[in-house]
Chain A
């Protein structure tokens, strides 16, 4: 019967050595298969890269177990990370079960002193540089700040901060106090036992999702083969559409894990549809509270519909107007330009839009792309 393979990771520092050894023995006696560098992972022939070998071992494990003390371990210049940190990142990327134990005193110092300092530094750096600071910037700040305990390697704070961003829980580790592994693994068993009986339902859902995706793929191939001659009820078409377009949060992303909410926008409240005909964009229909004009001339650069038309077919653009406090998502497909109106929250003004332009674009574009693609297919297939 397969046993649970547990990768035991930590800096090979003197303070953690007895703990590592005892954990290895206890996990083995409980019937698991622990893997640890000094017991059964190394040494390797000279041509084998030890970092690669360690990362492969993490990849092959079922559970990744990490102990954090006051040393950070070997720093790898090219990766700008320690080897232990790379092992943790590998386990996280591979979506392994991760168990982390951090020295209680270091944890307490991190959450009470170091984390607020780091966050203050990061906020200041972002407002000045408009990007997240690099690990070396953060460690330089930590090294130079007298309020940061000097007996701890600065990289340890960076590692803890990274874990916090990735929402990894850090359990207490008191040197000399044994961890109750039986209880710990009993809890893991309980969690797994809740999910395993759902295998059939989850797999059925996964199959259905594949089928829906296949159907959508077929639809995107079939639609361009049709000649759609027009609308039966254009206003109804727009009404149905806007009822399916919810609002959402606008988030500024800093790197892979850190994001900040910078505002929100409400559900789509209106839509307009114009058709390119007779050297102008002619009004077809509207839904909701949008204003409309019978025709936009093609040289009218004050019209978002005309500006979107100029992008080519298909084309898309997001606009913002402070006077209306509105975000407009304009989509050109074929001879049509459709505009979806999303009310912005009252805090938005031109300065905020300029500052968070990419976040606004991303929030609008990534919220309902499946519906937008379908709208493009419908409008692009119209040949009255």
Chain B
């Protein structure tokens, strides 16, 4: 499905153009699903964790 906003009205789906009734069901294609977002969040968490460990190692190192 291409980008933009779609609407389901009277049992038909079309591009949402112009004013829409309150009962219209609107949706826009997702750029990422929750699995992709979770993967990104886990990667960021691992990076942060590693950085915390590295920083403490540097901070407590005696030259």
Contacts and interface: CB of A to CB of B under 8 A. Distances in A.
Given A354-B16, A365-B37, A369-B34, A301 B8 contact: yes
Contact of B38 (A199, A318, A350, A373): A373
Interface in A204-230: 206, 209-210, 213
Interface stretch (A47-55, A165-173, A320-328): A320-328
Interface string A351-381: 0011001101110011001101100100000
B2 interface: no
Interface in B3-36: 5, 8, 10-13, 16, 19-20, 22-28, 30-35
Contact of B62 (A2, A320, A365): A2
Interface residues on B, range: 35 or more
Contacts of B63: 1-2
A357 B35 contact: no
Most A CB contacts (10 A, CB to CB) among B13, B16, B49 go to B49
B52 A320 contact: no
A332 to B, nearest CB: 11
Interface residues on A, range: 35 or more
B34 A350 contact: no
B49 A350 contact: no
Contacts of B5: 353-354, 357
A318 B42 contact: no
A63 to B, nearest CB: 13
Contacts of A353: 5, 26
Contact of A302 (B10, B30, B35, B49): B10
Most B CB contacts (10 A, CB to CB) among A206, A323, A362 go to A206
B27 to A, nearest CB: 5
Contact of B60 (A199, A210, A331): A199
Interface in A319-344: 319-323, 331
Contacts of B62: 1-2
A302 B34 contact: no
A360 B38 CA distance: 17
A95 interface: yes
A161 interface: no
A195 to B, nearest CB: 9
Interface string B41-55: 110011001011100
A361 B31 contact: yes
B25 A302 contact: yes
A319 B46 contact: no
A282 B52 CA distance: 49
A304 interface: yes
Given A301-B12, A366-B37, A319 B49 contact: no
A300 interface: yes
A196 B56 CA distance: 8
A361 B6 CA distance: 14
A370 B38 contact: yes
A179 interface: no
Nearest to A307: B8
9 nearest A-B pairs in the assembled complex, by CB-CB distance? A357-B28, A369-B38, A2-B63, A323-B22, A369-B34, A372-B34, A350-B20, A322-B22, A206-B49
22 contacts: A210-B46, A213-B45, A302-B25, A307-B13, A307-B27, A314-B33, A316-B33, A316-B34, A317-B30, A318-B27, A319-B25, A321-B22, A321-B26, A322-B22, A350-B16, A353-B5, A354-B16, A354-B26, A358-B28, A360-B28, A366-B34, A369-B38
